[in-house]
A = this chain, B = another copy of it.
Amino acid sequence: MASIAVIGGTGDLGRGIVRRLAKAGHDVTIGSRSAEKAKAAADDMAGDTGPLGHAANEEAAQGKDIVIVTVPYASQAGTLELIRDKVGDAIVVDTTVPLVPPKVMRVQLPQAGCAALEAKEILGDGIRFVTAFHNVSAHLLDSDAKVDCDVLVFSDDVEARKTVIDLCPGMGLRGLSGGSLNNSAAAEALTSILIYMNKTYKADGAGIRFTRLTEGPAIP
């Protein structure tokens, strides 16, 4: 089991990830801009998940095996700058999708190609960096529902990528490698399509499944 901080862990996606990881037996710390909000969320969830750590983001990011960043796109750069000197040898997992409200059903990838490459630019080469969890429904994750969605995991660090793929089954998810970090653009863009599907085809947490794979992880 790993020690894992979820930065922005009081938000919708953050809570879902905290919940699934804690229930899988990991040692999870909720990070928030405010230490008080982190404590309140940990207290609120503890009945369901068991005891959770809690701290301000920059403190939560220290001394962990894995640091998962779940903040809105507008807060991505500031949050990464805040934690980059704290994470040490941890694997940093960014979940950021470059949605530009209010047009969240419109694919609007940034100039750099994707939010993942913008993040990499901020973190530099010394930090082990992965992106994942772009497409899973936050509210389904934060429930006992089956999340009928594969998790694409991207990184230029093959071992770090594998570590994150291997986290997924315990969360009731199938993690699949999507290749290099640069390929995050596909999952980031897909999130707007999934939001569009929720509205257009009345889906409650639309997801994607890859078909015809003959090797790799099973669907839990």
User: Is B201 in contact with A106, judged by CB distance below 8 angstroms?
Assistant: no
User: Is B197 in contact with A190, judged by CB distance below 8 angstroms?
Assistant: no
Distance between A148 CB and nearest chain B CB, rounded to angstroms: 4
A113 within 8 A of B: yes
The answer to whether A107 and B185 touch (CB under 8 A), given A148-B211, A211-B208, A214-B202, is yes
Q: How many monomers of this protein are in the complex? A: 2
Interface size on A, residues (CB 8 A): 41
A170 within 8 A of B: no
User: Is B208 in contact with A208, judged by CB distance below 8 angstroms?
Assistant: yes
A108-125 CB contact bits vs B (8 Å, 1 = yes)? 010001000000000000
A163-183 CB contact bits vs B (8 Å, 1 = yes)? 000000000000011111011
A196 within 8 A of B: yes
User: Is B206 in contact with A212, judged by CB distance below 8 angstroms?
Assistant: yes
Binding site for B on A (CB under 8 A): 105-107, 109, 113, 148-149, 152, 176-180, 182-183, 185-186, 189-190, 192-194, 196-197, 200-216
Q: List 23 A-B contacts (CB under 8 A).
A: A106-B179, A106-B180, A106-B182, A107-B186, A109-B185, A149-B211, A176-B197, A178-B196, A183-B193, A183-B196, A186-B189, A189-B189, A190-B190, A194-B210, A197-B210, A202-B213, A202-B215, A203-B213, A206-B213, A207-B211, A208-B208, A208-B209, A208-B211
